[in-house]
Amino acid sequence: MNQVILVGRLTSDPEVIVTESDKKMSAITIAVSRPFKNSDGIYEADFIRCILWNNIALNTCEYCHTGDIVGIKGRLQTRMYETDEKQKKYITEVIAEKITFLTNNKKNEG
């Protein structure tokens, strides 16, 4: 079974890209805090690249901004590409199947 659930903060504003086959896509990175401190007493974070497609990408770009907390359910995918120098590079990313917006963006009035 290949299933990943992450909760983290967006590291930048999401942007939609339209592919050649007219699909909407967004590549985001979320910072996921580790639940323990390092030897210096500091909490570290992992920065995880996530790929969003179609309506998930559109809604995320419309409603989310840098620093917002999101929950992502998806699957891990590793892909390979070759550099100009003919070196093989591998990238592991999360392909999002569902995203939940966890930041309350309502402004306090009064």
Global pTM value: 0.85
Q: Hey, where are the domains in the chain?
A: 4-101
Q: Are the CB atoms for 47 and 109 separated by under 8 Å?
A: no
CA distance 18 to 54: 9
The CATH number, out of the four listed (3.40.50.970, 2.40.440.10, 2.40.50.140, 3.10.129.10), of the domain defined by the range 4-101:
2.40.50.140
CA distance 57 to 47: 19
Who's near 74: CB < 8 A, 6+ residues apart? Answer: 3, 4, 50, 94, 95, 96, 97, 98
pLDDT, one tens digit for every residue, the chain (110 residues): 999 999 999 999 999 999 999 999 999 999 999 999 999 999 999 999 999 999 999 999 999 999 999 999 999 999 999 999 999 999 999 999 999 999 876 654 44
* Neighbouring-strand partners of residue 30: 10, 48
Query: How far is C-alpha 29 from the chain's CA centre?
Result: 4
